[in-house]
Structure 1
Amino acid sequence: MQTTDQGIKPFLDDNFLLENSTAEILYHEFAAKQPIIDYHNHLPPDEIADDKKFTNLTDVWLKGDHYKWRAMRTMGVPEKFITGDATNEEKFQKWAQTVPFTIRNPLFHWTHLELKGYFGVTELLNSASSQRIYEQCNGLLQTDEYSTRNLLRKMNVKVVCSTDDPLDDLRYHQQVREEGMDIKMLPAFRPDKAILIQQEQFPAYIEKLGGVAGADIKSFTDLLQALKDRMQFFHEQGCRLSDHGLEQIYAEDFTESEVNTILTKRLNGGSISDEEARKFMSATLYHLGCLYAELGWVQQFHLGALRNNSSRMLRQLGPDTGFDSIGDWEQASALAKFLNRLDTEDKLAKTILYNLNPRDNEVMSTMIGNFNDGSIRGKMQFGSAWWFLDQKDGMEKQLNALSNMGLLSCFIGMLTDSRSFLSFPRHEYFRRLLCNLIGRDVHNGELPNDTEWLGGIVSDICYRNAKNYFGY
């Protein structure tokens, strides 16, 4: 049963999230037509290199998507139908049964934007429509038009930057580059496993790193040289940015002698204190920061995730399976100290800061202003709303904090941070919210009614700023 109030807007129409005519003009005439540079995601490079075609909607849409998995668990769906041995069709049906109960969660919007944007499905997904939608989408997925590369082309994606461990041989990036694919697929350097010295697997990882780098890592100097060698290899393969996913920045005072002793102790099977670990991590981050600046890279810091909270499910399923949450570490002091040391030594690379705790929005939006030095437009960036915050309220709060305390016009815009080839409508979601915020200000008399001027700024935020920032 539907109400007959003529003032109710239809769900997910062309003006979805756009509250007035200015917002509509800004989105349809400026934002929507901009290409996408997705400068941080977790897409599997092999599936792009091989131009994989997915056999069914579960495989392309539910596999690896811990956002959906968390919602299904909340609805009491047994793990068998999430990550277990149920059939793909059974898993999809359980997801379809869950969707109507995700109202006001971003999953409800994303689900229907993705079905509409990729498959032309405008019917709401639920138990009644599940079979029809599954069969319709599966039929389309069998065609060449729905290979991984064509899924990216459907969304006008020009650049994707994967997230890659220093051990990676980057064979798939090389393959794509040699083919001359019209979409750039570039690596991003993620060396966290060489930093987190207290992790159980740290000694084994350092041994593997030495093997890949052709070095016997016995000292801190050896470790830095191995990382530098891998960075040079990544650079030769087109890498121009790094990424870190840390609880917080570490910026303890240290001496090279102290750090060398700490590393040697750990590699020889000894235990180290929390203070020693912080010194080692601080030293490694500092030296990596210097190397990033030397190579002209962009450094990214995703800060504040409290990971793997369920030890039972970590043992059962492993990491990155939907048991992480927002953490509440203090961020400002150590971050300022870390950036200041690099800045003082003229070794501060272009930097993007992301926070997972919304209380830190104003911390990050003011922190970047401390280290913009006039050398590069928007050198220091407050990154887009991330993970639990990349939803309507989180995106608007990030945009408002940046607007109030920095320059929104210099912002490099949205990214997916996703493992799914169907996640790119998140750029559309962001662009609609951006245009609506600006359109609202125009209609409130808080900005001039000049859509050409504002449309240029919108186009910058959606595409051109990132293009110039990364040099793509």
Structure 2
Amino acid sequence: MTQPWTLHEDRALPADPVTRPIAREIYQQTRALPIVSMHGHVPVEWFAEDTQFPDPAELLVVPDHYLLRMIVSQGRYALHQLGVPAIDGSATTEADPRVVWRRFCEHWKAFRGTPTRFWMEHVLVEIFGVTQRPSAESADAIYDQIAAEIATPGFRPRALLDRFDIEVIGTTDPAWASLEHHARLTADGLGQRVLPTFRPDPLLQLDNLTFTHDVLATGAAAGVEVRDYATYLDALRAQRLRFKAAGARATDHGCHTADTTPLPEDDAARLFDAALAGRPVSDAQAAAFAAHMLFQMAQMSTEDGLVMQIHPGVVRGHSTQMTRRYGPDKGYDIPFAVEFTHALRPMLDAFGHHPNFRTIVFTLDEDVYSRELAPLAGVYPAMRLGAPWWFIDSPEAMRRFRETATETAGFGNLSGFVDDTRAFCSIPARHDLARRIDAGYLARLVAEHRLDLDEAVDTAVDLAYRLPLEAYAAR
């Protein structure tokens, strides 16, 4: 008889017998801490409407680009065969969620050794009580078990906030958002628990195909008629204040590079006017304007106190064909090398010691941790170094981060763990993995007599809970 599928209590803790008991002791002090999830992408509508999730595939597979990209990479199924609509109408979307789920389970082997495997097995075993590994043979039984669970009132989004012990969660909202869903949450007493985050990227990119529409929509939401560069800035300031009044603590900037070089105001106004009128701008002009506006966003953060999250270094929609066919955020975003020392200098020169400016800088390029980002975070009071993000939100990369960043930045200049996901059910899994990896790293410092155990435990609590609360504290 096959033994039930279970997860080892010491998973992801150090394998060696000296540090594992220490790591286990440290982890026990953090495993039950509340979750602070300030950089997320779970749709605010889920919490506002609090409706039942439709099916296991729509909950766990279709919104998760980690899962989608790995399955697609195996060459058997395209995205529309995994429940993702082809927005160009070129293919028929698989409408049967059970079929989508089977296709995921058929590919379980492909996830071995990946963080996605850790997250998904945590979700399946710890949240849904699944006792058999996903496979072609077990797919239907697992589907039925999950479907039965999500049909219960205890699996509505608001109930899961309590079940997952999420103290606060940030949603990511477009700059033109009406914030009506957040208003509803505030009316229902959840306004300090589910917070909006201001994401203005499309408004800062003159080569955005919908630039004029997005700018005017933001102005309409803010109650500002955008006619020129000056009123454009007025609309951004007004909308940021609307977000802050709705509970926002941060802005979010998925910029291409980290350049923050400001332009002369007349040049910026000329470029903006051209783009608003639909006249073409060059790639170089668009890049210069984006850098200028990142500087302007920092200036606005000194005024309203919103934390500025910067995470550059991704070629969005690397496959032009697939992006046109399925839209953005479907697994075709690929990292590239980014320079930070010179790029951030204008911003940090101007605001790095400003008492009301705070920025958290993330990277997908591990090379810059010890060379650039840790030294910058280790001297500028306004800057914190963000946790390993996206492709490097993984056990080995988190260990490398601790080893390369801590010696220069220390622990106090870090953001603490920050997850970055649309996959709601994976949030506790991601935090659990980070707490286990941190326990292992700190255990080694204790074993090497570089920290006392009580210091290691205190630091682990900082990383898991106190530092994220502090980094995103309202002002």
**Whole-angstrom CA distance in 1 between matches of 2:220 and 2:471:** 34
**Residues 102, 267 of structure 1: CA spacing in aligned structure 2 closer, same or farther, 3 A cutoff?**
same
**Whole-angstrom CA distance in 2 between matches of 1:276 and 1:186:** 34
Tell me the secondary structure at the aligned position of residue 309 of structure 2: strand
Q: Which aligned pairs between 1:98-137 and structure 2 lie closer than 5 A?
A: 98-137=107-146
Q: Which aligned pairs between 1:37-76 and structure 2 lie closer than 5 A?
A: 37-76=36-75
What amino acid sits opposite 2:362 in the alignment?
Y
Q: Which aligned pairs between 1:167-206 and structure 2 lie closer than 5 A?
A: 167-181=176-190, 184-206=193-215
What is the Cα deviation at residue 39 of structure 1?
0.6
* Cα contact 2:258–2:339 (8 A) shared by 1: no
**Whole-angstrom CA distance in 1 between matches of 2:287 and 2:350:** 16
* Structure 1 residue aligned with 2:9: 14
**Residues 151, 352 of structure 1: CA spacing in aligned structure 2 closer, same or farther, 3 A cutoff?**
same
* Structure 2 residue aligned with 1:349: 357
**Whole-angstrom CA distance in 2 between matches of 1:59 and 1:268:** 40
Paired residue total:
455
What amino acid sits opposite 1:440 in the alignment?
R
* Cα contact 2:446–2:456 (8 A) shared by 1: no
Tell me the secondary structure at the aligned position of residue 254 of structure 2: strand
Residue 139 (str. 1) matches residue 143 (str. 2): no
* Structure 1 residue aligned with 2:467: 465
* Cα contact 1:412–1:463 (8 A) shared by 2: no
**Whole-angstrom CA distance in 2 between matches of 1:182 and 1:258:** 41
What is the Cα deviation at residue 347 of structure 1?
7.1
**Whole-angstrom CA distance in 2 between matches of 1:215 and 1:151:** 38
* Structure 2 residue aligned with 1:375: none
**Whole-angstrom CA distance in 2 between matches of 1:251 and 1:381:** 17
* Structure 1 residue aligned with 2:87: none
* Structure 1 residue aligned with 2:35: 36
What amino acid sits opposite 1:434 in the alignment?
D
What is the Cα deviation at residue 216 of structure 1?
3.0
> Alpha-carbon deviations, 1:44-73, whole Å to 9, x = none?
111111222213211210121111111111
* Structure 2 residue aligned with 1:5: none
Q: Which aligned pairs between 1:57-96 and structure 2 lie closer than 5 A?
A: 57-79=56-78, 80-82=80-82, 83=84, 84-96=93-105
**Whole-angstrom CA distance in 1 between matches of 2:150 and 2:394:** 28
- The one of 378, 383, 402 equivalent to 1:369 is 378
**Whole-angstrom CA distance in 2 between matches of 1:213 and 1:267:** 18
- The one of 302, 317, 323 equivalent to 1:308 is 317
- The one of 355, 359, 366 equivalent to 1:358 is 366
Residue 406 (str. 1) matches residue 409 (str. 2): yes
**Whole-angstrom CA distance in 2 between matches of 1:281 and 1:101:** 39
**Whole-angstrom CA distance in 2 between matches of 1:156 and 1:104:** 28
- The one of 420, 423, 430 equivalent to 1:420 is 423
What amino acid sits opposite 2:394 in the alignment?
Q
* Cα contact 2:416–2:464 (8 A) shared by 1: yes
Tell me the secondary structure at the aligned position of residue 57 of structure 2: helix
* Structure 1 residue aligned with 2:436: 432
What are structure 2's unaligned runs of at least 5 residues? 15-19, 85-92
What is the Cα deviation at residue 334 of structure 1?
1.1
What is the Cα deviation at residue 127 of structure 1?
1.8
**Whole-angstrom CA distance in 2 between matches of 1:395 and 1:137:** 31
* Structure 2 residue aligned with 1:376: none
**Residues 11, 440 of structure 1: CA spacing in aligned structure 2 closer, same or farther, 3 A cutoff?**
farther
* Structure 1 residue aligned with 2:161: 152
* Cα contact 1:152–1:421 (8 A) shared by 2: no
Tell me the secondary structure at the aligned position of residue 412 of structure 1: coil
- The one of 388, 393, 397 equivalent to 1:390 is 393
What amino acid sits opposite 1:350 in the alignment?
R
Moved over 4 A (4+): none
Tell me the secondary structure at the aligned position of residue 311 of structure 2: strand
Identity of matched residues, %: 25
What amino acid sits opposite 2:456 in the alignment?
L
* Cα contact 1:210–1:226 (8 A) shared by 2: yes
Q: Which aligned pairs between 1:215-254 and structure 2 lie closer than 5 A?
A: 215-254=224-263
Tell me the secondary structure at the aligned position of residue 18 of structure 1: coil
> Alpha-carbon deviations, 1:129-178, whole Å to 9, x = none?
21221111111111111111222222211100011112101111111111
**Whole-angstrom CA distance in 2 between matches of 1:130 and 1:96:** 6
Question: TM-score normalized by structure 2?
Answer: 0.91
What are structure 1's unaligned runs of at least 5 residues? 3-9, 373-378
Tell me the secondary structure at the aligned position of residue 260 of structure 2: coil
Once the two structures are overlaid, the 10-residue window that deviates more, 461-470 or 40-49, is 461-470
**Residues 65, 265 of structure 1: CA spacing in aligned structure 2 closer, same or farther, 3 A cutoff?**
same
Tell me the secondary structure at the aligned position of residue 439 of structure 1: helix
* Cα contact 2:313–2:363 (8 A) shared by 1: yes
> Alpha-carbon deviations, 1:410-432, whole Å to 9, x = none?
53322221112111110001000
**Whole-angstrom CA distance in 2 between matches of 1:430 and 1:183:** 25
What is the Cα deviation at residue 276 of structure 1?
2.6
What is the Cα deviation at residue 251 of structure 1?
2.9
> Alpha-carbon deviations, 1:292-324, whole Å to 9, x = none?
111122110011111111111111111111111
> Alpha-carbon deviations, 1:244-267, whole Å to 9, x = none?
001112333521111111111222
**Whole-angstrom CA distance in 2 between matches of 1:301 and 1:144:** 38
Tell me the secondary structure at the aligned position of residue 194 of structure 2: strand
What is the Cα deviation at residue 38 of structure 1?
0.2
* Cα contact 2:262–2:346 (8 A) shared by 1: no
Tell me the secondary structure at the aligned position of residue 423 of structure 1: helix
**Residues 115, 201 of structure 1: CA spacing in aligned structure 2 closer, same or farther, 3 A cutoff?**
same
**Whole-angstrom CA distance in 2 between matches of 1:210 and 1:146:** 38
What is the Cα deviation at residue 95 of structure 1?
0.3
What is the Cα deviation at residue 209 of structure 1?
2.1
Tell me the secondary structure at the aligned position of residue 247 of structure 1: coil
* Cα contact 2:64–2:423 (8 A) shared by 1: yes
**Whole-angstrom CA distance in 2 between matches of 1:218 and 1:140:** 52
**Residues 266, 394 of structure 1: CA spacing in aligned structure 2 closer, same or farther, 3 A cutoff?**
same
**Whole-angstrom CA distance in 2 between matches of 1:293 and 1:439:** 39
Question: TM-score normalized by structure 1?
Answer: 0.91
> Alpha-carbon deviations, 1:344-388, whole Å to 9, x = none?
7x376111000012222222111212312xxxxxx4211011111
* Cα contact 1:290–1:348 (8 A) shared by 2: no
